[in-house]
């Protein structure tokens, strides 16, 4: 069964950090551009960060540039999102996705494309 499972979300105070993980099963990540997306209540889903198949290219939304870092370990079939200096506006459900087409990291995040999606993990930034 093809599946993406996110973990690492939780409640954190402003200025804190979290590291999200997304593990793939049923397929290998080597052939997929991977991305992290988030959706806040009442807002559209947005592309937060995406990474190319070999990890050579990364894309970040302006709102997280310099605070978030995406990485992947294809040997472990896992992609990560390190989130630092978290702010209340970072609150939302974070999803990972895999795109096996001809997307680049930039296009995947901007077009919000994906063949497979995880169920999401909640991140709440609040004092």
Each residue's pLDDT tens digit in the chain (127 positions)? 889 999 999 999 999 999 999 999 998 888 999 999 999 989 999 999 999 999 999 999 999 999 999 999 999 999 999 999 999 999 999 999 999 987 899 999 999 989 999 999 999 999 9
Token pair, residue 5, equals 């499972």
For residues 125 and 10, give the distance between their C-alpha atoms in angstroms, rounded to a whole number. Answer: 8
Token pair, residue 30, equals 């080597």
Q: What are the DSSP calls for 16-51, one per residue?
A: --EEEEEEEESS-GGG-EEEEEEE-TTS--EEEEEE
Diameter of the chain measured on Cα atoms: 42
Token pair, residue 102, equals 């001809």
């Amino acid at each position: 069964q093809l599946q993406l499972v996110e973990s690492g979300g939780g409640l954190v105070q402003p200025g804190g950090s979290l590291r999200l993980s997304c593990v793939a099963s049923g397929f290998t990540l080597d052939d997929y551009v991977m991305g992290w997306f988030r959706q806040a209540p009442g807002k559209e889903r947005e592309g937060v960060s995406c990474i190319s198949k070999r990890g050579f290219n990364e894309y970040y939304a302006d709102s997280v540039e310099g605070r978030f870092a995406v990485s992947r370990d294809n040997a472990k079939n896992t992609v990560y999102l390190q989130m630092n200096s978290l702010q209340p506006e970072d609150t939302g459900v974070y999803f990972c996705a895999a795109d096996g087409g001809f997307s680049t990291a930039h296009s995947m995040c901007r077009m919000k494309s994906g063949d497979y999606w995880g169920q999401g993990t909640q991140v709440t930034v609040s004092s």
